[in-house]
């Protein structure tokens, strides 16, 4: 059974640019969540989507946005990149209720 797939694995962007990250959940999983992981802050919740609707949102600025498509695939977008946005971005899917299955993440470096 395929796991959660995130693309790309690595990305280097310049300050001020925007970036789009992609996540394909496990087949049948309708809930997709995004997290930012940094050495100093650990894992921080960005947002959760369920059946194309944003169900929860963390405390991140409006530059961070996401969406979910009818096939449950999800994308997150970060506009006007800042150096502090450098992090590992993790996507996770679930059937709902219990633990997540995480992807391997996208390592974003902003220079």
Interacting residue ranges for other proteins, rule: CB under 8 A: 4, 33, 35, 41-45, 48, 55-56, 58, 90, 92, 98-105
Structure tokens at 72: 């449950």
**27 versus 104: smaller Cβ distance to other proteins:** 104
What's the CA gap between 49 and 67, in Å, rounded?
7
**Closest-CA residue to 21 (of 78, 85, 81, 63):** 78
Q: How far is the CB of 111 from other proteins (least distance, A)?
A: 21
The dihedral through the CA atoms of 39, 63, 93, 45 has a sign that is positive
Q: How far is the CB of 80 from other proteins (least distance, A)?
A: 26
Structure tokens at 19: 């970036």
**86 versus 101: smaller Cβ distance to other proteins:** 101
Q: How far is the CB of 4 from other proteins (least distance, A)?
A: 7
Q: How far is the CB of 50 from other proteins (least distance, A)?
A: 11
**62 versus 99: smaller Cβ distance to other proteins:** 99
**Closest-CA residue to 105 (of 47, 46, 34):** 34
């Amino acid at each position: 059974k395929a796991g959660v797939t995130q693309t790309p694995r690595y990305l280097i962007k310049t300050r001020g640019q925007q970036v789009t990250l992609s996540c394909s959940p496990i087949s049948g999983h309708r809930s997709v969540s995004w997290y930012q992981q940094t050495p100093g802050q650990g894992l921080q919740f960005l947002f959760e989507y369920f059946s194309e609707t944003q169900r929860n949102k963390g405390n991140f600025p409006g530059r961070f946005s996401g969406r979910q498509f009818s096939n449950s695939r999800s994308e997150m977008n970060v506009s006007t990149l800042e150096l502090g946005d450098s992090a590992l971005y993790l996507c996770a899917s679930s059937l709902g209720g219990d633990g997540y299955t995480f992807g391997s993440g996208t390592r974003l470096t902003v220079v």
